[in-house]
Amino acid sequence: MKQALRIFTIDGTGVSETVIAADGETPGLTPQEPAAASARLSTLAALQQVRLPEHGYLWIACARAQFDVLQTQLQATLQALTGVQLLDLHVSDLLNQQLPSRYDYTSQYDLLVFRRLAAGGLTADPAQPGQTLNHLPARGGPPILRRIDTSPVGFAVFDRVLLTIHPSDCAVRDAYAARLLAAGHSAPSHNGNGVTPDSRSAGARGVPAHPADMMLRIVNQMVDSYLELRRDLTHQLDHWQAELLDPKTRFNNWSALLTARLSLHHLDEICEDQHSAVQDWIESLKTWPEADTPLSQSERDLLLVRSRDVLEHIERVVHHVRRLEQSAEAAVQMHFNAQSHRTNEIMRTLTVLTAIFLPLNLIAGIFGMNFDFIPLLHRSNGFWLAMVAMGFTTVTLVMFFWRKRYLERSAR
């Protein structure tokens, strides 16, 4: 199914959405949120009609497959709206599904590619089936790890335009779009430039005052979507640890455990790239020209605060992933240590039994010699005397080894 191009207009009257259908679909009005004026138009005609609001900005949300098809039209739209087009190298970055998280900039716009960590319902991207770098292996490892989708999301941030390139099934975009429309509908007041400010700093609530602010909110929601998976992922690995350390079970799912460790290492690398990209964005943000008004300075301070908040959330994800890696590694080491300890106990028991039966074998060997005269051999009670000697030797050795704690039962 073709994905529609969604354009959000944020201005003094709130938030409105224009849904542009893919070519070949029947145009017509489609109801959206109560605050959104939505129209389904033909692609070319609709892009030609896109205009900047008087005081606000635009958010153009496009699927990666659709961006590949509409490059020329979208570049012309960006030229008309901002006076500049995306560089060819940046277009390639936005289309590349294997690109790690990275940040780049020009004098006219900033580019951020951010690999998401989201729970996907499918094992492969419907737009690019078989892309092993976008999804973790389909076999082995905890099921929750196999459902984590790491497809990249691209952001091109202009002064009054935000262009986002998403995978075909991006639930974060849809969830944030619904929240944005609801916030725009319930906005009570406006600031001097006509944009509804967000007085609440937590989460993705309210209407962002700047395209960069919206980008940070979306990125923050993408990071938090992984934090929501912590409980399931931790529970799954804790179950494996308990199975590894249980002496009554024989763990044989080593291939799945190895796959899980490789997957966690892959997530760690992705989080490191995310951290580096956001850190580069913060360093670039600090080099922006000084604000000429208190309102502009306040917006810039808000961007810095949100950027540091996103960075802190990424650090939490990195810490959690590394802790899971360490837990898995520790469980494996403890499993082998427990197996080695169990082997040592078995060898100790066998050694003690051998030491007990060695004198008995010696006595039996002596009386089994082929000599004509052996003491006690021709006596009627010789057998019982030998058995008493063997029993006394056995009891004596057992008591000796027990006092030496060689036969002590280890606690489970």
Residues 393/397/400/404 CA torsion (nearest 10 deg): 170
Domain boundary among 277, 303, 336: 336
- Distance between CA 32 and CA 48 in Å, rounded? 22
Residue 410 maps to a domain:
no
Q: 259 and 288: one domain?
A: yes
Alpha helices in 50-103 (DSSP H): 64-69, 71-82, 88-95
pLDDT value for 109: 93
Q: 258 and 356: one domain?
A: no
Mean pLDDT of the chain: 77
pLDDT value for 130: 34
Q: 84 and 140: one domain?
A: yes
Backbone angles phi, psi at 404, to 5 degrees: -80, 0
At 29 the three-state DSSP class reads: coil
pLDDT value for 94: 92
Q: 196 and 265: one domain?
A: yes
Query: What amino acid is encoded at 250 in this protein?
Result: R
Residue 123 maps to a domain:
yes
- pLDDT tens, position by position, 341-367: 888 888 888 888 888 888 888 888 888
pLDDT greater at residue 346 or residue 146: 346
Report the residue count for the chain.
412
CB 193 within 8 A of CB 91: no
Query: What amino acid is encoded at 393 in this protein?
Result: T
Neighbours of 220 (CB within 10 A): 21
Output the six-digit token pair for 212. 């960069």
Q: Can you say how many angstroms the Cα of residue 214 is from the centroid of all Cα atoms in its chain? A: 22
At 12 the three-state DSSP class reads: coil
pLDDT value for 141: 54
Q: 213 and 296: one domain?
A: yes
Residue 411 maps to a domain:
no
Which range (34-43, 117-126, 333-342) has the least confidence? Answer: 34-43
Query: What is the DSSP-derived secondary structure letter of residue 152?
Result: E
Residue with tokens 């900039």: 105
pLDDT value for 230: 72
Residue 409 maps to a domain:
no
CB 101 within 8 A of CB 273: yes
- pLDDT tens, position by position, 317-334: 888 888 888 887 887 787
- Distance between CA 105 and CA 110 in Å, rounded? 4
Number of structural domains found in the chain:
2
pLDDT value for 119: 63
What contacts 25, CB < 8 A, 6 or more positions away? 2, 40
Q: Which strands make up the sheet holding 152-157, listed edge to edge?
A: 14-20, 5-11, 57-63, 161-166, 152-157, 110-115, 102-105
Q: What is the CATH number of the domain that holds 235?
A: 3.30.460.20
pLDDT value for 162: 93
pLDDT value for 87: 94
Residue 408 maps to a domain:
no
pLDDT greater at residue 172 or residue 304: 304
- List own/partner pairs for 281-284 with CB under 8 A and 24 or more apart: 281/103, 281/110, 281/112, 281/307, 282/307, 282/308, 282/311, 284/103, 284/105, 284/110
Q: 275 and 319: one domain?
A: yes
Run of H or E residues at 84? none
Rounded alpha-carbon distances, angstroms, from residue 97 to 130, 265, 270, 317, 400:
12, 19, 13, 22, 71
Q: 326 and 359: one domain?
A: no
Measured CA angle at 245 (ends 244, 247), to 5 deg: 105
By CB neighbour count within 10 A (0-12 exposed, 13-18 middle, 19+ buried), where does 2 fall?
middle
Radius of gyration of the chain (CA): 35
pLDDT value for 194: 44
pLDDT greater at residue 105 or residue 131: 105
Residue 215: pLDDT band (50, 70, 90) is very high
Domain boundary among 290, 308, 336: 336
- List own/partner pairs for 22-27 with CB under 8 A and 24 or more apart: 22/66
Listed ranges 191-195, 221-225, 277-281; the one with the highest mean pLDDT:
277-281
Whole-model pTM above 0.85?
A: no
pLDDT value for 2: 54
Q: 28 and 154: one domain?
A: yes
- Distance between CA 297 and CA 250 in Å, rounded? 63
Residue 146: pLDDT band (50, 70, 90) is low
Q: Is the pLDDT of residue 11 over 60?
A: yes
pLDDT greater at residue 26 or residue 175: 175
Per the DSSP assignment, residues forming a β-bridge with 104 are 111
Residue 80 maps to a domain:
yes
Q: 276 and 384: one domain?
A: no
Residue 48 maps to a domain:
yes
Domain that holds residue 302: 5-336
DSSP secondary structure letters along 226-273: HHTTHHHHHHHHHHHHHHHH-TTS----HHHHHHHHHHHHHHHHHHHH
- pLDDT tens, position by position, 26-65: 343 344 444 333 434 466 777 778 888 888 899 999 999 8
- pLDDT tens, position by position, 67-77: 988 888 899 99
pLDDT greater at residue 202 or residue 403: 403
Output the six-digit token pair for 279. 């850190």
Q: 102 and 63: one domain?
A: yes
pLDDT greater at residue 244 or residue 155: 155
Residue 412 maps to a domain:
no
Residue with tokens 């030491």: 355
Give percent of the chain with pLDDT exceeding 90: 16
Domain boundary among 336, 357, 372: 336
pLDDT value for 313: 87
Q: What is the mean pLDDT of residues 211-230?
A: 83
pLDDT value for 228: 67
DSSP secondary structure letters along 170-185: -HHHHHHHHHHHHHHH
Q: What is the CATH number of the domain that holds 372?
A: 1.20.58
Q: 104 and 205: one domain?
A: yes
Q: What is the mean pLDDT of residues 258-287?
A: 86
Q: 332 and 350: one domain?
A: no
